[in-house]
Structure 1
Amino acid sequence: MTDAPINPALAATFAPPVMAARRWLEGVTFPPERPLVNLSQAAPVDPPPAPLREAMGEAIGDPSAHIYGPVLGQPDLRAEIAARWSRAYGGEIEAAQVAVTSGCNQAFCAAIATLAQAGDNVIVPTPYYFNHAMWLHMMGIELRPLPCGDDLLPDPSRAAALMDDRTRAIVLVTPNNPTGKEYPDGVLDAFFELCQSGGLGLIVDETYRDFDSRSGAPHNLFACPDWQGTLIHLYSFSKVFRLTGHRIGALITGARRMAEVEKVLDTMTICPNQIGQRAALFGLQHLGDWVAGERAENLRRRKALEEVTDALEGWERLGSGAYFGYLRHPFDEPSDTLAQRLVLEQSLLILPGTMFVPEGDPFGGRTVRIAFANADADGLAEMGRRLAAL
């Protein structure tokens, strides 16, 4: 008998990196004096705050929370996002320009589906967020890498040199995953002008916006004339309200593209999670002070990470911010084998830079990502001791 076929584009896509790293732990016994320190995944492990859990519990009692809702999300949540984002960015966003999605990953998938088809290409700065790369590979869309170099900032002029008649979009993530880099508004402005003049989409993923160290709006793109035809903004409620398991994100774009987004979302999930949407709305309306406290704690941990890594002999911190630190290691071995050695010799799990660049890119072999959001100052100090001991 012959097996049913497997989509070759899917088969050629690399395995989920976080799951691959978790398999490094299988069969490993960690000594009691040196338990595992896991700094591999950028997701909060604590539950949502008590007031939010109580609100979610009340929502469970509402019969309407258990049936299909609108494909593009609940109107009250869409309106709240539009109003708050308009104030935050100094622009004008309408509720009809907002879609609620099943997590920010789905928002990205929907955005790409409206922009490109197999054979097209999308420009993505490297190091990249690996799920973005995976979706492009699955769709048969060429990921055209834009290396950032040691300053970890994408260069619009280098992006322009990569564009051709099959280029459909440029993707930016700020604050960045995996590097933590916060892109200056001038960089975003230049990319917006490039995309607008070239008829491309500019996807700006701001999953970690709430942990940006800067005050005020991170950019003014929503105040640009005709932003609706170029900008596609992505956001996640997973990190800010600890709702990772409830899969709530958002996508903001113009009306013409939103009609196509609705087709994608209806086909994928029909509607976003009803309880999660109510949680996101409650969080926006009632948890501002709590979010400010979470941001302050995150910035303290960022400072602790910087102090620890700057004291490591031979290591170089290239970037830090949001949930991440991005380091160049001093060893004469690729980062993927180094990361596995850290598990065995130091009970420390971090992700190698090879997971964030195309295969064969030497920059990935010399770098690692540390996801520090779930580690306090003591935990980060312990990480430093183990890196030094290696």
Structure 2
Amino acid sequence: MALTRTTATFAPPVMEARRWLDGVNFTDEMPLLNVSQAAPVDPPPLPLRQFLAETALNVPDAHLYGPVLGLPELRSEVATQWTASYGGDIGPQNVTITSGCNQAFAAAITAICTEGDEVIIPTPWYFNHKMWLDMLGVKSMPLVTDNEMLPDPERARALITDKTRAIALVTPNNPSGVEYPPALVRALYQVAQDAGIKLIIDETYRDFDSRDGAPHDLFTAPDWGQTLIQLYSFSKAYRLTGHRVGALVGAESLLAEAEKFLDTVAVCPNHLGQHAALWGMQNLGDWVAGERLEILDRRAAISEYFPQIAATGWKLKGVGAYFAYVQHPFDMGSDKLAQKLVKDIHVLALPGTMFTPENDPDGRQDMRIAFANVARPDIKLLFDRISTVSAQ
């Protein structure tokens, strides 16, 4: 097969992992525990589904093309709520609605990069970010994180060349779950500003941050649009995964370039999903707060029950948002171990090899556990099963 944009990268990891289920017979005594994907599997809350149905029936425009940059009302609501949450000056002209947060990243990268450019991404990385960079011909520059899974600003500075266009972060992080401290985010912003490049912050999981208040103060900078690009997803907060609604926040000049990309690949974001996101923002604040508390309880359960497998050599490297990132004690690659867990204990998790450069020693030893869809009792069951695993 000839080399193409798509052959330049790897197969979608979640889809690859699902193929490991083929031929495995799950039982009532040991059903599958799927901790591979971070997307909610439950539908939106009933009031939101009712609103969606009424909108589909009664709003003719919801079935037509809309503005490429999104519904003006939703852009305005994001600007208003973000200004209240982060401070600073964010207007509707700074907000673009996208077909999911992955598209927001793709639009941002396409607007600021060309083939041969470089983007710095901390490892372990979010694999869809790496895939898009590969397909665009942009070189990913791995920024190794420390023992607390945090990127070092000075290491980032040392990676910058005349081809560097951005540093791309995810916080709370996917895959590690770690929440980047405000001072660290500010320091990385300063590195980007000094170099005249962008700092991209994917805040898909901001609604499940354990901290109160703004996770950073970057929007208070008077010229934030010259450096900062923020990405967001409505999928996790309102369970709108199938409706594909995300957001890109940045300078007007950036959005003008992103609009070219968005018009070409999708024309406009899903109209029904945008109406749902707007209604959710205006009506589901208390419900989202309850969802956050449930996720924080699951995070606490990870920490409470982990000593059961720590006793057999496992290590908890990071936990937060929807994820726990763990190190296994066996002399085998995590890709092989992940397939063994499916067969032996009916657990589907993603190996660290899917989040790191090829032959990275940390990737070989690490695994990601996504606990968005496993409540406290299943987390206990998960560690019960893992405690029985051997290297044989």
* TM-score (ref. length: structure 1): 0.98
State which of 36, 43, 59 in structure 1 corresponds to 2:39.
43
State which of 187, 201, 206 in structure 1 corresponds to 2:203.
206
Checking the alignment, whether the CA contact within 8 Å between 1:310 and 1:317 is kept in structure 2 is no
Q: What is the CA distance between 1:149 and its match in structure 2?
A: 2.8
Instruction: Verify: 1:53 aligned to 2:49, yes or no.
Output: yes
| Distance (whole Å) between structure 1 residues aligned to residue 162 and residue 2 of structure 2 | 30
**Aligned ranges 1:92-107 → 2 under 5 Å:** 92-107=89-104
Checking the alignment, whether the CA contact within 8 Å between 2:351 and 2:367 is kept in structure 1 is yes
Report what 1:273 is aligned to. 270
**Aligned ranges 1:1-390 → 2 under 5 Å:** 6-61=2-57, 62-312=59-309, 313=311, 314-390=313-389
| Distance (whole Å) between structure 2 residues aligned to residue 149 and residue 332 of structure 1 | 22
| Distance (whole Å) between structure 2 residues aligned to residue 196 and residue 311 of structure 1 | 45
Q: What is the CA distance between 1:194 and its match in structure 2?
A: 0.8
Indicate the SS of the match to 2:238: coil
Aligned AA (2:364): G
Indicate the SS of the match to 1:318: strand
| Distance (whole Å) between structure 2 residues aligned to residue 201 and residue 297 of structure 1 | 34
Indicate the SS of the match to 1:189: helix
Indicate the SS of the match to 1:31: coil
Q: What is the CA distance between 1:248 and its match in structure 2?
A: 0.1
Checking the alignment, whether the CA contact within 8 Å between 2:86 and 2:214 is kept in structure 1 is yes
Q: What is the CA distance between 1:7 and its match in structure 2?
A: 4.6
| Distance (whole Å) between structure 2 residues aligned to residue 6 and residue 65 of structure 1 | 41
Indicate the SS of the match to 2:178: coil
| Distance (whole Å) between structure 1 residues aligned to residue 98 and residue 141 of structure 2 | 26
Indicate the SS of the match to 2:229: strand
Uncovered stretches (5+) of structure 2, i.e. residues with no partner: none
Checking the alignment, whether the CA contact within 8 Å between 1:328 and 1:368 is kept in structure 2 is yes
| Distance (whole Å) between structure 2 residues aligned to residue 244 and residue 25 of structure 1 | 23
- Cα deviation, 1:179-205, whole Å, max 9, x if unaligned, reads 000000011101111111111011000
| Distance (whole Å) between structure 2 residues aligned to residue 116 and residue 282 of structure 1 | 35
- Cα deviation, 1:251-305, whole Å, max 9, x if unaligned, reads 0000111110111110110000000000000000000000000000110011011
| Distance (whole Å) between structure 1 residues aligned to residue 88 and residue 306 of structure 2 | 39
Q: What is the CA distance between 1:306 and its match in structure 2?
A: 1.3
**CA-based RMSD:** 0.9
| Distance (whole Å) between structure 1 residues aligned to residue 180 and residue 213 of structure 2 | 14
Aligned AA (1:27): G
Checking the alignment, whether the CA contact within 8 Å between 2:146 and 2:152 is kept in structure 1 is no
- Cα deviation, 1:210-254, whole Å, max 9, x if unaligned, reads 000000000000001200111000000000000000000000000
| Distance (whole Å) between structure 1 residues aligned to residue 11 and residue 278 of structure 2 | 34
| CA shift in 2, pair 1:6/1:99, >3 Å | farther
- Cα deviation, 1:294-335, whole Å, max 9, x if unaligned, reads 000110011011112233121110100000000011111110
Aligned AA (1:374): N
| Distance (whole Å) between structure 2 residues aligned to residue 384 and residue 48 of structure 1 | 29
Q: What is the CA distance between 1:6 and its match in structure 2?
A: 4.6
Indicate the SS of the match to 1:311: helix
Question: Percent identical across equivalent pairs?
Answer: 57
Checking the alignment, whether the CA contact within 8 Å between 1:179 and 1:320 is kept in structure 2 is yes
| Distance (whole Å) between structure 1 residues aligned to residue 49 and residue 27 of structure 2 | 36
Checking the alignment, whether the CA contact within 8 Å between 1:17 and 1:355 is kept in structure 2 is yes
Indicate the SS of the match to 1:239: helix
| Distance (whole Å) between structure 1 residues aligned to residue 343 and residue 364 of structure 2 | 19
Indicate the SS of the match to 2:237: coil
Indicate the SS of the match to 2:236: coil
Checking the alignment, whether the CA contact within 8 Å between 1:342 and 1:348 is kept in structure 2 is yes
| Distance (whole Å) between structure 2 residues aligned to residue 32 and residue 286 of structure 1 | 39
Q: What is the CA distance between 1:86 and its match in structure 2?
A: 0.3
Runs ≥4 residues deviating over 3 A: none
| Distance (whole Å) between structure 2 residues aligned to residue 387 and residue 93 of structure 1 | 47
